[in-house]
Amino acid sequence: MRRALLCIVVFCMVTGGFALSDPDFNNGSGWTTNGSGDVTFNGRCVISKNLFDTVTEVYQQEPSFSSGTWKATFYVDTVTMGSLQIGWQNASATWKSGSNQTVSSAGTYEITCDDSSYNWVVIQTVGSIVTASLESCNTEAVSSVDSWELY
């Protein structure tokens, strides 16, 4: 009798943790705000911008992102009358192509980046009138997925 051995092993490792300061927006520690709209931190990041305001943004550098691929997870509670641009930028405030997203509704958004020169996590208003609330923003390193098939 012949016996066949089938073994499929998948190894996926997620390392890191939440390296951003104050990922739950308790006091805004480590976050920088820019623009003429209002930003408050009290267990949420709330951004309010009206018709006459320029871009309002909240950002923080992810100092642990020096190689590999990183993921930012944005937990958005509400977005009313406008939208947000979220994702990764470099020190010159340029978005990483494919590593940013425009959102106009509540939800969980995961955005990856594989270029460590784009190590700034950014939440930016888009449009004339925006009011948005975010529950948290976390980052983590994600290693590659390795798989082996043995027959």
CATH of 20-146, one of 2.40.160.210, 2.60.120.260, 1.10.10.10, 3.30.70.1140: 2.60.120.260
Domain-by-domain residue ranges, the chain? 20-146
Task: Give the pLDDT score at 18.
Answer: 53
Using CA atoms of 99, 103, 107, 108 in order, give the dihedral in degrees to the nearest 10.
Answer: 10
Q: Quick one: 119 exposed, middle or buried, by C-beta within 10 A (0-12, 13-18, 19+)?
A: buried
Nearest to 56 by CA among 134, 132, 142, 4: 132
pLDDT tens track of the chain, all 151 residues? 444 433 333 333 344 455 799 999 999 999 999 998 999 999 999 999 988 888 899 999 999 999 999 999 999 999 998 899 999 999 999 999 999 999 999 999 999 999 999 999 999 999 888 999 999 999 999 975 544 444 4
Task: Give the pLDDT score at 144.
Answer: 57
Task: Give the pLDDT score at 127.
Answer: 86
Task: Give the pLDDT score at 113.
Answer: 97
Look up the pTM and report it: 0.81
Structure tokens at 91: 């020190």
